[in-house]
């Protein structure tokens, strides 16, 4: 059974790039345009990992992480922030909210695959 990554980003092109990067490696990718859509997608799919932007409308990445971590159903799901932000304070805030890791955009495809594989294992 393929492992599923939830990609939450207000940029469709970033969501598409994550899909184009992970799907050939055997991962399923579900996309959401902001934190609210991400929570809905998380509740209606079996998700092994979340890749989440920081700056989004409606609900930002840190707010979404807090909501995910409040819900015991999603315990143990790794959450990696993928953002243009590289400020230490934002990284610490995300970690305090429950983020597992941090990648800076533009992302290196091989690095994204390596992080996903390390966090949840190979796709198959």
pLDDT(123) > 90: no
Mean pLDDT, the chain, whole residue set:
95
Burial (CB < 10 A; 0-12, 13-18, 19+), residue 83, is buried
DSSP lists the bridge partners of residue 83 as 104
29-68 pLDDT, tens digit each: 999 999 999 999 999 999 999 999 999 999 999 999 999 9
Other CB atoms within 10 Å distance of the CB of residue 20: 11
DSSP lists the bridge partners of residue 8 as 32, 52
pLDDT(2) > 90: no
Q: What's the gap between Cα 38 and its chain centre? A: 9
């Amino acid at each position: 059974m393929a492992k599923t990554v939830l990609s939450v980003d207000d940029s469709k092109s970033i969501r598409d790039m994550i899909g184009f990067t992970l799907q050939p490696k055997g991962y399923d990718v579900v996309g959401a345009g902001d934190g609210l859509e991400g929570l809905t997608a998380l509740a209606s799919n079996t998700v092994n990992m979340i890749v989440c932007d920081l700056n989004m409308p409606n609900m930002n990445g840190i707010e979404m992480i807090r909501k995910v971590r409040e819900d015991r159903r999603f315990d143990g799901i790794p959450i990696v922030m993928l953002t243009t932000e590289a400020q230490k304070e934002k990284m610490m805030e995300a970690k305090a909210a429950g983020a597992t890791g941090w990648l800076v955009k533009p992302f290196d495809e091989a690095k994204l695959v390596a992080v996903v594989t390390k966090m949840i294992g190979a796709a198959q």
